[in-house]
Chains A and B, each alone.
Chain A
Amino acid sequence: MYPAPFQYHRAKTVDEAVGLLAGIGEGARVLAGGQSLLAILKLRFDEPTDLVDIGRIANLDQIDDAGEVINIGALATHNRIGASAIAEAIPIVSDCANGIADNQVRNLGTIGGSVASGDPSCDWPTLLHTLDGEILCQGPDGARTLDINGFVEDLYQTALKPAEIITGLRFKKPAAGSGGAYCTFKRCAPAYPTIAVGVQLTIRNGQVDSSRIALGSAGLTPIRASAAEAELTGGSLGADEINKAAEAAVAAADPYDDRRGSAEFKRQLIATLTKRAIAIAQRRAGGETVKNSPEYY
């Protein structure tokens, strides 16, 4: 299948990319790894006049974990993040990066593209909700930093302004005593999750100091399940609290019937995966090493 014809531009710098996008206007699209965009172009769901390839902008794929905040360049691929020191140190990052699609897709797909696509099935936005992340952008009016909350406004729609690109993502290193897990259920490796649940807990003296729970593929945008978090915070992760949190997560979701499953099936998955992610997060918060990878049908 051929995409409709377009002009191709390869940007060498962020400024050049923004300049090209602003100059061309409405018909221009950013091309990063192409793992979402090319499928859309081949099916001709979109017919841009121009593609601005940012894939070779130098130093936009760096992963910096020197300080208290972890910075990941927009062009870091899923596989590079999955094999990095931060994935080693923060297991929820490894869960997410290594659970995306298959080896081939992970070698090209980027974290910036995953966030920019505004796709509720993409895992990075859900993970960034779990880790309270921020998005670094640059556009014709300069640079700005956006909160992940509210960034995905609607299905495939983000808060990015015209000609604005994502340059990086960042989140605070989880505190000592904090543990997280990202659990997904999928048809097979080269498929988006049917449901994804991210949980990050900080536990002190057996008590939950803070908790974050986010859901992917559970509605038109990634969903932060604040009511579910409230069920856990201040408690001691008793069975009753965990059940209530799972129920609240289901209530926060708005799943729909599709090829991956019925809305009812997805609700059950949300409950199951929320409990599973809480259990793994709790063990990891206690210093245990717990393996976690996607589960398939």
Chain B
Amino acid sequence: MNDRILITVTVNGAPHEREVEPRLLLVQFIREELGLTGTHIGCDTSYCGACTVLLNDLPIKSCTMLAVQADGYEVRTVEGLEKDGKLHAVQDAFSEHHALQCGYCTPGMLMSACHLLETNARPTDLEIRKSIQGNLCRCTGYSNIIKAIASAADKIQEVSGQEVAGGNPV
């Protein structure tokens, strides 16, 4: 019953090999096995999006995936956004535009926003709203989050071709 399974998951560029119970959720693997507690558990029922990470560059809810399903895949979490001590352009914009209050939803919001800007350099207001339709915020009323994402898109455009403020090529 319940044999442990050896998996390798690359998280923020670094491969991690662990023996895990098959029932371990990806979010628990990230938080408890790897100690990366930036990814939050909000609802634990796949509704709130606080646990959003990028799996092979696509946003998914890590509370609704088994760690064994991510074996051999690449995961990016909020901890991977900062490079060389500099925040990612999206993080800077969230700070500048007061796009967070309690901060609980923020790691998930940032990952959804990053995915949007990596696949759509000039998103419309509607596209920004749609990109965070799976991320719930109980504090901000969303307006500042939308502003922050739009401003990050502008920032990234301004410095496109070079390294952005956060040091992250986008």
8 Å CB contacts to B: which residues of A47-65?
Answer: 49, 51, 53, 55
* B69:A53 contact, CB within 8 angstroms: yes
- A67 to B45 Cα, complex, angstroms: 40
Closest Cβ neighbor of A1 among chain B residues: B44
| Chain A residues closer than 8 Å to B49, beta-carbon distance | 102, 104, 190
Closest Cβ neighbor of B116 among chain A residues: A103
Is A205 engaged at the interface, CB distance under 8 Å to the other chain? no
* A103:B131 contact, CB within 8 angstroms: yes
Residues of B in contact, count (CB < 8 Å): 34
Q: How far is the CB of A99 from chain B (nearest CB, A)?
A: 11
Is B124 engaged at the interface, CB distance under 8 Å to the other chain? no
Q: How many A residues are at the interface, by size bracket?
A: 20 to 34
- On whether A39 and B21 interact (CB within 8 A), knowing A8-B5, A53-B69, A103-B59, the answer reads no
* A35:B68 contact, CB within 8 angstroms: no
Q: How far is the CB of B62 from chain A (nearest CB, A)?
A: 9
* A38:B21 contact, CB within 8 angstroms: no
- On whether A104 and B68 interact (CB within 8 A), knowing A2-B23, A4-B23, A5-B2, the answer reads no
8 Å CB contacts to A: which residues of B5-34?
Answer: 5, 21-25
| Chain A residues closer than 8 Å to B130, beta-carbon distance | 103
| Chain A residues closer than 8 Å to B69, beta-carbon distance | 31, 34, 53, 55
* A189:B133 contact, CB within 8 angstroms: yes
- A218 to B134 Cα, complex, angstroms: 24
| Chain A residues closer than 8 Å to B48, beta-carbon distance | 190
8 Å CB contacts to B: which residues of A22-58?
Answer: 31, 34-35, 38-39, 41-42, 49, 51, 53, 55
Q: Mark A191-230, 1 if CB is under 8 A from B, else 0.
A: 1000000000000000000000000000000000000000
What residues make up the interface of A, taking CB atoms closer than 8 Å to B? 1-8, 10, 31, 34-35, 38-39, 41-42, 49, 51, 53, 55, 79, 101-105, 107-108, 188-191
What residues make up the interface of B, taking CB atoms closer than 8 Å to A? 1-3, 5, 21-25, 44-49, 52, 55, 58-61, 64-66, 68-69, 112, 115, 130-131, 133-136
User: Which 8 pairs between the two chains have the least Cβ-Cβ distance?
Assistant: A102-B134, A8-B22, A189-B133, A5-B2, A107-B58, A3-B23, A104-B134, A104-B61
What are 13 A-B interface contacts by the 8 Å CB criterion?
A: A4-B23, A7-B1, A7-B3, A8-B22, A34-B66, A49-B1, A103-B112, A103-B134, A104-B46, A104-B49, A104-B52, A107-B55, A189-B133
